[in-house]
Structure 1
Amino acid sequence: MVDTAPKPVVLLVEDDRQLAAMLAGLLTEEGYRVDVARDGQTGLHHGLSGRHDVLILDRGLPVMDGVDLLTKLRGRGVVAPALILTARGSLADRVEGLDAGAEDYLVKPFEIPELLARLRSLLRRHQDRADILQIGRLRLDRRTRTVVDDSGSGAEVELSERECALLSVLAASPGQVFTRTQLLKTVFDSADTSGTVDTYVHYLRRKLGRDIVRTVHGTGYRVGGR
């Protein structure tokens, strides 16, 4: 039986190119999808997409410190669990990182098996919350790829893997407008075109109603917002 469960998406913000490449390769081999940023500002841009299941943030980053980056992400509603990597392991440093919203803190140098175990633990603890997304009266369960109408009808609609992935990305950041290019990179394969995005938006509207995904003319699509 083929495992169709979506791969967890990791945002890795690390300015050491060699370490970043090593970790990205390792995480990919472990079944993660990995976005890499090498400074805090780029990490903020990626992090605000809302597509990540877990964050790995270096403490000493160019442009913006890792703790400042996490503070900004938390302030913008990003709830993905965060693990801070740092060479600074004093009690004060750990407390500052945890107070900024990190769930875990790992001091360099670290052992790879411990890093992987900590990531699995973070994902387990946050999985239930991450798997359920509310879209107005509709509740999306990403584990079962089903949408339930909470308004009283109790109707349940099953989504395909791609329909679920597309709706998940949009619903995780309500009000945010995603371009077709962003959605192609996030949800679809490199061989797909912008027409594929439009096709799956049509499928979602046909199953869930025309208002489920809103068109922002000249830009792209969004869920929720005004």
Structure 2
Amino acid sequence: MADRPRILLVEDDARLSAMLLQLLETEGYDLVLARDGQRALHEGLTQPSDIIVLDRGLPLIEGLDVLNRLRSRGVLTPALVLSALGNPADRVEGLDRGAEDYLAKPFDIDELLARIRALLRRHHATVPVLTVPGGSLDVGSRLVTVTTGGIVTLSEREGQLLERLARRPQQVFSRDDLLATVFPDADDLGVVDTYVHYLRKKLGRDCVKTIRGIGYRLGPLS
């Protein structure tokens, strides 16, 4: 867990977003603000966060659609929906479509802060450790503990790529799939090959297996 937990705040109301930014920064959080659904999707796919605080009525892409797209790309960051749509049917829809919590506007500030703290506790209590060739990957810290001894630190994108492969160790991923899910801000398939090379350099050539004509999969687990 970082010293300052990172929150992706998705809110198009200028006055409310300014108030929330000031409040949450005072509480010790790092904040990234997205004012529309398209920006929220980009930030959610390219920058890891500890919590997403998400409005529903957003320009460009509706809030729950943003959340659906993030979940379909493997982004499991806990989400708190903060919306004026607050009747029971709206809350049920939000929770059914991937949110961990739902708070209606207008809201009590102390309750909002308490819900964020609760989500952080649950999130960091359940950050997975995945088995990878020759060791294990702590998804939260991006540290690989090598069975022969030692710890290898991965970059953000190296960690995301290895996590993607390790969550489905039997699946062969096409380069197109890995480009879209791990490197959505890139448009050159070569970036996938480059980061596979980086992983192999740090963890050994067997950590990622090339399936000719198809793509990549996790290397064999001992």
On whether the aligned pair clears a TM of 0.5, the verdict is yes
Could you tell me how far apart the structure 2 residues matched to 1:27 and 1:211 are? 44
Give the deviation of 1:21 after TM superposition: 2.1
RMSD between aligned residues: 3.5
- Residues 1:169 and 1:96: Cα distance change in structure 2 (over 3 Å): same
Which residue of 177, 183, 203 corresponds with 1:177?
Answer: 183
Which residue of 10, 19, 23 corresponds with 1:22?
Answer: 19
- Residues 1:117 and 1:72: Cα distance change in structure 2 (over 3 Å): same
Residue deviations 1:23-79, cap 9 Å, x none? 123222322222110011111111112512211110111111111111121122111
Could you tell me how far apart the structure 2 residues matched to 1:12 and 1:144 are? 22
Which residue of 68, 91, 95 corresponds with 1:94?
Answer: 91
Give 1:80's aligned residue: 77
Tell me if 1:8 matches 2:28. Answer: no
- Normalised by the length of structure 1, the TM-score is 0.67
Could you tell me how far apart the structure 2 residues matched to 1:132 and 1:68 are? 29
Q: Contact 2:24–2:31 at 8 Å: present in 1 too?
A: yes
- Residues 1:133 and 1:119: Cα distance change in structure 2 (over 3 Å): farther
Tell me if 1:116 matches 2:109. Answer: no
The AA in structure 2 aligned to 1:55 is: I
- Residues 1:134 and 1:42: Cα distance change in structure 2 (over 3 Å): farther
SS in 1 for 2:8: strand
Tell me if 1:56 matches 2:62. Answer: no
Which residue of 26, 35, 40 corresponds with 1:38?
Answer: 35
Which residue of 198, 202, 208 corresponds with 2:203?
Answer: 208
Q: Give the share of equivalent positions with the same residue, in percent.
A: 48
- Residues 1:157 and 1:208: Cα distance change in structure 2 (over 3 Å): farther
Gaps (5+ residues) in structure 2?
166-177, 187-196, 209-215
Residue deviations 1:167-221, cap 9 Å, x none? 54554556323889xxxxxxxxxxxxxxxxxxxx98x8775346779xxxxxxxx
Q: Contact 1:5–1:143 at 8 Å: present in 2 too?
A: no
Q: Contact 1:132–1:139 at 8 Å: present in 2 too?
A: yes
Could you tell me how far apart the structure 2 residues matched to 1:133 and 1:28 are? 32
Could you tell me how far apart the structure 2 residues matched to 1:78 and 1:131 are? 13
Could you tell me how far apart the structure 2 residues matched to 1:10 and 1:156 are? 34
- Residues 1:30 and 1:133: Cα distance change in structure 2 (over 3 Å): farther
Give 1:157's aligned residue: 150
Q: Contact 1:14–1:61 at 8 Å: present in 2 too?
A: yes
Could you tell me how far apart the structure 2 residues matched to 1:61 and 1:83 are? 15
Q: Contact 2:142–2:159 at 8 Å: present in 1 too?
A: no
Give the deviation of 1:139 after TM superposition: 1.8
What are the equivalent positions in structure 2 for 1:134-153 lying under 5 Å apart?
135-141=132-138, 146-149=143-146
Q: Contact 1:81–1:103 at 8 Å: present in 2 too?
A: yes
